[in-house]
Homo-oligomer: A and B are copies of this chain.
C-alpha cells in the first residue's frame, strides 16, 4: 500500500479531517467541485478519492444532494489491554463518561462466581454511560470485590476512572482475560440512555479483567450501540 498517487493523498487528507471531526459524523462534505478547486485537481480525481472512502464506509453519496460522512464506527480492539479512554483518544476523538452510580451491593451469582466470592458478598458497582464526542455509545457496569478493595468506591467517585481508582488501591496494572460477545436488542431504558430506539441492536460483552497473576479483579458488562461501535480482533483497523 501507500503509493503516493494524487487521489490516495487526497483520500487520506479527507479521512484525516473526518477522524479529526473537522467533518462531523452525519454532516455533508464540501462539494466535489469545491474539493477539486481546493486541492487544485480535476473533479474526477476527487471522485476517485471519495469513491475509495465510500468503499471503506466512511462516506456515502446521494445523487443531487452531496457526499455525507457515515456514522463513524469506533473500533474497540480485543486485546489484553483494553482501555476505553486511550482507545478513543488514539483515534482522535474525545472520550467522556456519565456516571450513573457508584454503589455497594450484594454480588449477583454471576459476579460472585467470576470474582470467586461467597454468597451475598459485597461488590462495588460502577455503572454509567460512555460517550464519544458527547454522543453516548455504551452502557457499562463494573463489579469489584468490596472486601478486597474497601476504598475503591470513594476513589471511583473522585477520579471517575477505573484504571486510576485501581491504582489508588494498589493495582498498578491489569489485563483483559476474557470477553464474551453476543447481541441483544435494546430495551426502552437502554434505548433512552443511549439515545436510540428500543429494538435497535446492541453488542453485549461480558468481560473479566485480572491482575498480572491472573486473579480476577473486575467483572464487566457492557452494551455498545451497534451502529456506532464495532469490536475488532487482530486487525490494523484500516477501515477506520
Contact = CB atoms under 8 A, between A and B. Distances in A.
Contact of A55 (B110, B203, B230, B231): B110
Contacts of A239: 180
A143 interface: no
A96 interface: no
A234 B176 contact: yes
Nearest to A235: B178
A226 B182 contact: yes
Given A78-B233, A230-B182, A234-B176, A202 B201 contact: yes
A182 B55 contact: no
Interface size class of A (residues with CB under 8 A): 35 or more
Contacts of A183: 183-184, 201-203, 224, 226
A232 B201 contact: no
A181 interface: yes
Contacts of A234: 78, 80, 176-179
Interface of A: 51, 54-57, 73, 75, 78, 80, 109-110, 112-113, 176-185, 199-203, 224, 226, 229-236, 239
19 contacts: A54-B109, A55-B109, A55-B113, A57-B110, A73-B182, A176-B233, A178-B234, A178-B236, A180-B232, A181-B181, A181-B231, A182-B203, A182-B226, A182-B230, A183-B184, A183-B201, A185-B199, A185-B200, A201-B202
